[in-house]
């Protein structure tokens, strides 16, 4: 059965604000065979939520141990996953975690004070969690899944 371009015209993307890069997210949605069941994009996004939760737990542990190297690696990992799906705010917070985990300011200059780095990471991690909660709520509504 040929794909119908007219079907795309009937689909209206909700306003995710600056949480989601619509262009990137739309590319993910285009991989669905059928808009009604979203058999590709929905599991991908929901798996990301699980992955993010696990990563946040690991970040909390690394933060309690003041393990900057681990925090940087975890920030890098989650930054990549969120960028792939177009989840801007989470990606940006993870960039902060990655940079300060490397003891670098956002402009790339060295930040030798470990306490400053840990505080910046603490703030960015909380922001990432807050943004993730908002994002998850928006996307569960979008996909028609109310379970959390």
Question: What is the per-residue pLDDT across 80-97, written as a single tens digit (0 to 9) for each?
Answer: 999 999 999 999 999 999
Q: Is residue 27 part of a domain?
A: no
Diameter of the chain measured on Cα atoms: 61
Q: Is residue 48 part of a domain?
A: yes
Res. 131: pLDDT tops 90 = yes
User: What CATH code is carried by the domain that includes residue 123?
Assistant: 1.20.120.160
Q: Is residue 84 part of a domain?
A: yes
The candidate with the shortest Cα–Cα distance to 97, out of 52, 140, 135, is: 52
* pLDDT bucket at 8, cuts 50 / 70 / 90: very low
Burial class (CB in 10 A: 0-12, 13-18, 19+), 91: buried
Per the structure, the count of domains in the chain is 1
pTM: 0.88
Domain that holds residue 67: 39-142
């Amino acid at each position: 059965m040929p794909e119908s371009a007219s079907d795309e015209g009937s689909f209206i993307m909700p306003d995710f604000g600056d949480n989601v890069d619509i262009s990137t997210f739309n590319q993910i949605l285009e991989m669905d065979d059928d808009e009604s069941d979203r058999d590709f994009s929905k599991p991908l996004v929901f798996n990301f939520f699980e992955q993010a939760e696990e990563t946040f737990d690991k970040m909390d542990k690394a933060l309690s141990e003041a393990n900057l190297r681990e925090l940087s690696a975890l920030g890098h990992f989650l930054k990549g996953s969120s960028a792939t799906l177009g989840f801007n705010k989470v990606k940006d917070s993870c960039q902060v975690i990655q940079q300060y985990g490397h003891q670098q300011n956002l402009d790339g200059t060295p930040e030798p004070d470990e306490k400053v780095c840990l505080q910046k990471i603490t703030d960015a991690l909380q922001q990432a969690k807050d943004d993730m909660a908002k994002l998850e709520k928006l996307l569960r509504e979008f996909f028609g899944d109310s379970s959390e």
